[in-house]
Every structure is written in structure tokens, then in C-alpha cells.
Amino acid sequence: MRRASDERSPFLGVPSWRERTAVAGALRTETVGGMVLLAAALATLIWANSPWSGSYVSVRDAHFVIGALGLDLSVGHWAADGLLTVFLLVAGIELKRELVAGELRTPAAAALPVVAAVCGMAVPAALAS
């Protein structure tokens, strides 16, 4: 009979199918994704405000060039423009799914989120002008 210690994969080794399935399932939940994003933001804030902030600035200002597309952007621009574009695309796809087949498919259920979204755009625009 096998012992539990025999079934474990070695440290930094290839995980078993059960372990991979558990990790993949956990990463698919919105809570884990939000926690990973929060942890990354917190680590970046600490790094940028630490004595090692010079290394943060050098990484942020490093350039990646894709000559065929004429792109010469810093890591900061890639993060601000590229990742934000992907985030908004995913948010739009999820919003469409909710409006078509989800909890917001009736006008009464969608009214409050629509009003909140409009106010979320109008109030900052009014304050900025």
C-alpha cells in the first residue's frame, strides 16, 4: 500500500493531474483572480515606495520594440494601454453575457447598474470641468 508521502510530487516537480485540476479550478474563480490582482498591486506599491524604487523605475521604463508593427513602448505603457484594453474587453464580454442571459436580462434588474455606470462617468466628468 502506498503512503501519502509517496504520492506527492517533488518540490518544484511536475504536479499530478489532481493538483493541476485543483489549481486550475481555483484560478478560474473570480475571488482568486481578484486576490492575485490585489497582491500584485500591493507588491508593486511596496516595491515602488521602497529603497529599491530605482529598480522599479528602470523596469517600468524599459522598452519593448515590435518593429513589424511599429510599436516602441515602455513596460508602463504596455501595462497601462495593453492590459487595460484586455481587461475592458473581458469586462464587456461578461457584461454582454449578463445582459443577454444573466441576472440583468430584464430592464428592471439592469436599471440600477445602468444608473450607477452613468453616474460613475458623469460625476467625475462634471468635477473635472
Could you state, in order of their start, the residue ranges of all structural domains in the chain?
Answer: 1-60, 64-129
- Residues 75 and 64: beta-carbon distance below 8 Å: yes
Q: Give 44's pLDDT tier (boundaries 50, 70, 90).
A: very high
Q: Is the pLDDT of residue 92 over 60?
A: yes
- Give me the chain's average pLDDT, please: 86
- Spatial distance between the Cα atoms of 39 and 27, rounded to a whole number of angstroms: 14
- Residues 62 and 74: beta-carbon distance below 8 Å: yes
- Spatial distance between the Cα atoms of 6 and 25, rounded to a whole number of angstroms: 24
